Amino acid sequence: MIRSQDPLGRFLFVGTGGKHIYVYKLEDLDHPESHTLIQAIPSEVPSFVTLHPSKRFLYACNELETAPTGSVSAFSVDAESGRLTWISTVPTKAPGPCHAQVHPSGEFLGSANYHGVSSTIFAIDPKSGALSPTDIVVHTYTGKGPHPDRQECSHPHQFHWNADGSLAYVADLGLDRIHIHPFSPESHHRRAASAAAATAAGHTQDSVVDLAVDAIPAHAPGSGPRVMAFHPASDWVYLITELDSHIHAYSIDPSSNGWTLIQSLPLSASNQIGASGIEVSADGRYVFASMRADENTLSVFRIDPDTGLLTQTCRTSTLGEIPRHFALVDDRWLVVANQISKEIRVFRFDRDSETLVSVGAIENVPECPQSIAFL
């Protein structure tokens, strides 16, 4: 998440379910109607976009759902104009990459491959921002969950590094698990070289799960982990489960990396399927979450600074259909991709009342918006 202290002249990158990434300039986040469309750059199903920590590069998951593979595309970012320039597109070796995150070092990227029962880790060229087509490790997952339609196999939905990059977490909606992969650059390069050698010899070699813990030990099977967000200062993590539409708070044991469930709260007011997004504020005081289905809401939760437990302070309409993703900007604005209504809706967070207030929208996005990144 890129946060700036200046609300003026912000660049907004919009991933879509179509054939373009859209770049907008917002002169003032309190007045999103004052936007300018800077660019529509071609990219195949660029459903999720994320920025490099240096802000010099942007990566897009090309969520092609059918075999043999999806891909991740790299772009350079012009800091003055916001315009993107394509660098390269590299296969994930599995279909349906739906989420990606750059390692804290800026030297690796991990993707969750929803339709490919796997996650992929790429090495990044630190100078050009290009993803290596050969320095790749693929983790594959087996099994299924109890939901007959949504858990017929593994469905990785989010890839998330921990703060120092020593662990990679993969939320698996299909298996009701969070896969945890210990990570080091040395082990990655060693495994990638071994896999490349096996491929050259006509064999296939995937890296198996190093360590997996059940992330919902006290919750019903079939809940479907979708996305998580970590507290910036304490050993707490907050998880959205899509199939039962709950938000869960866990404490993490730093010595074992084990998770202990401390709280579960419903996000749906009518027990629907469709919880979608989550963010923790940079100051560690609030959690924000979104709900799709027929409800289309945003919720705000206050975090108890001593226990990590949540108290809901607000539930409000997104004023649009299917809030697939949102970005928290400067802890002051929530910028929401309302997928079906093809708009980017901006809400200001009022800390006095702990509520969200709509300040306007970018309407008529040409293709359905599915993710947002800010510069």
Tell me how far apart the alpha carbons of residues 325 and 289 are, in angstroms, rounded to a whole number: 10
pTM over 0.75: yes
Q: Which pLDDT belongs to residue 273?
A: 96
- Beta strands 225-230 and 236-241, pairing class: antiparallel
Q: Which pLDDT belongs to residue 213?
A: 41
Please, which residues have CB within 8 angstroms of residue 187's CB and are 6 or more apart in sequence? none
What six digits make up the tokens of 202? 């006509």
Q: Which pLDDT belongs to residue 204?
A: 56
* Higher-pLDDT residue of 66, 9: 66
Instruction: Return the domain boundaries, the chain.
Output: 1-42+327-344+360-375, 49-326+345-359
Question: Do 64 and 71 meet the contact criterion of CB atoms below 8 Å apart?
Answer: yes
Q: How confident is the model at residue 208 (pLDDT cuts 50, 70, 90)?
A: very low
According to CATH, the topology of domain 49-326+345-359 is Methylamine Dehydrogenase; Chain H (2.130.10)
pLDDT in tens, 339-371: 999 999 999 999 999 999 999 999 999 999 999
As a three-state string, the secondary structure of the chain is CCCCCCCCCEEEEEEECCCEEEEEEECCCCCHHHEEEEEEEECCCEEEEEECCCCCEEEEEECCCCCCCCEEEEEEECCCCCCEEEEEEEECCCCCEEEEEECCCCCEEEEEECCCCEEEEEEECCCCCCEEEEEEEEEECCCCCCCCCCCCCCCEEEEEECCCCCEEEEEECCCCEEEEEECCHHHHHHHHHHHHHHHHCCCCCCECCCEEECCCCCCCCCCCEEEEEECCCCCEEEEEECCCCEEEEEEECCCCCCEEEEEEEECCCCCCCCEEEEEECCCCCEEEEEECCCCCEEEEEEECCCCCCEEEEEEEECCCCCEEEEEEECCCEEEEEECCCCEEEEEEEECCCCEEEEEEEECCCCCCEEEEEEC
Question: Do 26 and 38 meet the contact criterion of CB atoms below 8 Å apart?
Answer: no
Q: Which pLDDT belongs to residue 258?
A: 86
Residue 210 clears pLDDT 70, i.e. is over it:
no
Mean pLDDT of the 165-174 span: 94
Q: Which pLDDT belongs to residue 203?
A: 59
Strand order in the sheet with 57-62: 46-51, 57-62, 71-77, 84-91
Q: Which pLDDT belongs to residue 194?
A: 86
Q: How confident is the model at residue 196 (pLDDT cuts 50, 70, 90)?
A: confident
